[in-house]
């Protein structure tokens, strides 16, 4: 029997850790599958994905810059993919292309299970309003935070997110938006979903948002802490990078494809020591 085929599409894609993660999950759960990386041309995602499906591919992950293209390609969207307006997981079932988004569930799993911090009743500050931020708003709201503030460089983009999720709120005012300087008082959880860290930049947030009980999570990861993580740690926060989110979104995608939920703890520790 041939193992089922999966892959991750991106451009660039050489750096992706997804093949390593899914190979480890397949081994751990005894699933007969292979998973490789595929570089799609910037203007050729749909063709690449359709070709892969026609060759027998069962599913794919999708990363930068194709999450919107994947959303357009899907013939069915899960509610969380619809809310995100972006797709990071595709499942090919005959003629149906299911589009899902597991980034938000991955972030919540990392915060709640791995970091041991509950979101219910907390004050959350989300920095950024791009694709990554949009994907995590609904899964975070579903945890029942007391309040969530979305701060972005372009304030109008953050305001549009608040308008989009108005119907999902437990009470008016649960979700607000503004610029980076606007949030006041301490927050329980601060999530950096901007791409500022890529350029070594820091969103100009007031240091008073951090306290000893604050969890500050940067969605970026690498060998060194980001400027955001350093800044948050200097002001007393507990810091965390995006590696846990990466592994958890992969576990959630694996579940969408295979109906089996892999363990993530050992793999996360292994990946961290290999960074
Ligand atoms: P987008 O390009 O969609 O959005 C970028 C966001 O960052 C916007 O809000 C933008 O603000 C803001 N921004 C960019 N540069 C700066 C800057 N110098 N200062 C302040 N704000 C800035 O990117 P994504 O949302 O797709 O990705 C964001 C980050 O999340 C990336 O680093 C990505 O690698 C990471 N990520 C990690 C995942 C994981 O599993 N760990 C999963 C998904 C993403 P404006 O609107 O004003 O332009």
Q: How far apart are CA 60 and CA 35, in angstroms?
A: 9
What value does the mean pLDDT take over residues 186-212?
Answer: 96
Atom index in ligand 1 nearest the CA of residue 103 equals 42
Tell how far the Cα of 262 is from the centroid of ligand 1, in angstroms. Answer: 28
First CA to last CA distance, the chain: 35
Domain ranges of the chain: 4-101+244-274, 104-241
We find that the CATH architecture of domain 104-241 is: 3-Layer(aba) Sandwich (3.40)
The answer regarding whether domain 4-101+244-274 maps to CATH 3.40.50.10860 reads: yes
Q: 268: Cβ below 6 Å to ligand 1?
A: no
Q: Cβ contacts of residue 14 below 8 Å, gap of 6+? A: 37, 39
Identify the residue whose tokens are 């329980």. 188
Structure tokens at 6: 């999966």
What value does the mean pLDDT take over residues 146-175?
Answer: 96
Query: What Cα–Cα distance (Å) separates residue 207 from each residue in 94, 129, 153, 182, 274?
Result: 52, 20, 17, 12, 32
Q: 102: Cβ below 6 Å to ligand 1?
A: no
Answer yes or no: is pLDDT of 1 > 80: no
Strand partners, 217: 191, 240
Q: Kindly report, residue by residue over 67-99, the tens digit of the pLDDT.
A: 999 999 999 999 999 999 999 999 999 999 999
Tell how far the Cα of 154 is from the centroid of ligand 1, in angstroms. Answer: 12
What is the structure's pLDDT at 266?
A: 95
ipTM of the complex: 0.97
What is the structure's pLDDT at 131?
A: 87
Q: How far apart are CA 235 and CA 19, in angstroms?
A: 37
The CA angle 77-82-86, to the nearest 5 degrees, is: 95
Query: What Cα–Cα distance (Å) separates residue 241 from each residue in 44, 145, 193, 225, 234?
Result: 32, 21, 11, 7, 15
Q: How far apart are CA 139 and CA 188, in angstroms?
A: 17
Q: How far apart are CA 141 and CA 202, in angstroms?
A: 25
Answer yes or no: is pLDDT of 2 > 90: no
Mean of the per-residue pLDDT values of the chain: 96
The domains spanning 4-101+244-274 and 104-241 adopt the same CATH topology: yes
The three-class DSSP label of residue 122 is coil
Q: Which stretch of 3-7, 51-55, 128-132, 159-163 has the lowest confidence by average pLDDT?
A: 128-132
What value does the mean pLDDT take over residues 116-125?
Answer: 98
Q: Where are the beta strands (DSSP E) in 73-139?
A: 76-77, 89-93, 96-100, 123-127
**Residue among 193, 205, 251 whose CB has most ligand 1 atoms within 8 A, to mutate:** 193
**CA–centroid distance for 179 within its chain:** 22
Q: 139: Cβ below 6 Å to ligand 1?
A: no
Strand partners, 99: 77, 90
pTM of the model: 0.95
Q: Whose CA is nearest to atom 3 of ligand 1?
A: 130
Q: How far apart are CA 57 and CA 34, in angstroms?
A: 10
Q: 181: Cβ below 6 Å to ligand 1?
A: no
Query: What Cα–Cα distance (Å) separates residue 103 from each residue in 107, 137, 246?
Result: 6, 10, 8
- The pLDDT > 90 percentage for the chain reads 96
Query: What Cα–Cα distance (Å) separates residue 15 from each residue in 9, 57, 223?
Result: 12, 22, 13
9 phi and psi angles, rounded to 5 deg: -100, 135
What is the structure's pLDDT at 275?
A: 84
Give the side-chain half-sphere CA count within 13 A for 1. Answer: 7
């Amino acid at each position: 029997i041939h193992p089922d085929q999966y892959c991750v599409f991106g451009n660039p894609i050489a750096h992706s850790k997804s093949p390593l993660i899914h190979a480890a999950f397949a081994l751990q759960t005894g699933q007969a599958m292979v998973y490789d990386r595929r570089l799609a041309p910037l203007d050729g995602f749909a063709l690449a994905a359709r070709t892969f499906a026609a060759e027998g591919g069962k599913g794919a992950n999708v990363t930068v810059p194709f999450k919107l293209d994947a959303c357009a390609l899907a013939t069915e969207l899960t509610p969380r993919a619809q809310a995100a307006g972006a797709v990071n997981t595709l499942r090919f079932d005959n003629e149906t292309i299911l589009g899902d988004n597991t980034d938000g569930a991955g972030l919540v799993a990392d915060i709640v299970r791995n970091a041991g911090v509950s979101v219910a009743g907390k004050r959350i500050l989300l920095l950024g309003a791009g694709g990554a931020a949009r994907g995590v708003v609904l899964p975070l709201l579903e945890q029942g935070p007391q309040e969530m503030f979305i701060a972005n460089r372009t304030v109008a983009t953050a305001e549009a997110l608040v308008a989009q999720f108005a119907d999902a709120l437990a009470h008016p005012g649960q979700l607000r938006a503004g610029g980076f300087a606007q949030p006041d008082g301490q927050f329980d959880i601060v999530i950096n979903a901007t791409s500022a860290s890529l350029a070594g930049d820091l969103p100009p947030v007031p240091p008073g948002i951090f306290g000893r009980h604050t969890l500050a999570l940067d969605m970026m990861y690498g060998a060194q802490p980001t400027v955001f993580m350093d800044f948050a740690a200097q002001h007393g926060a507990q810091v965390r990078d995006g590696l846990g989110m990466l592994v958890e979104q992969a576990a959630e995608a694996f579940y969408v494809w295979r109906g089996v939920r892999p363990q993530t703890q050992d793999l996360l520790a292994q990946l961290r020591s290999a960074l």
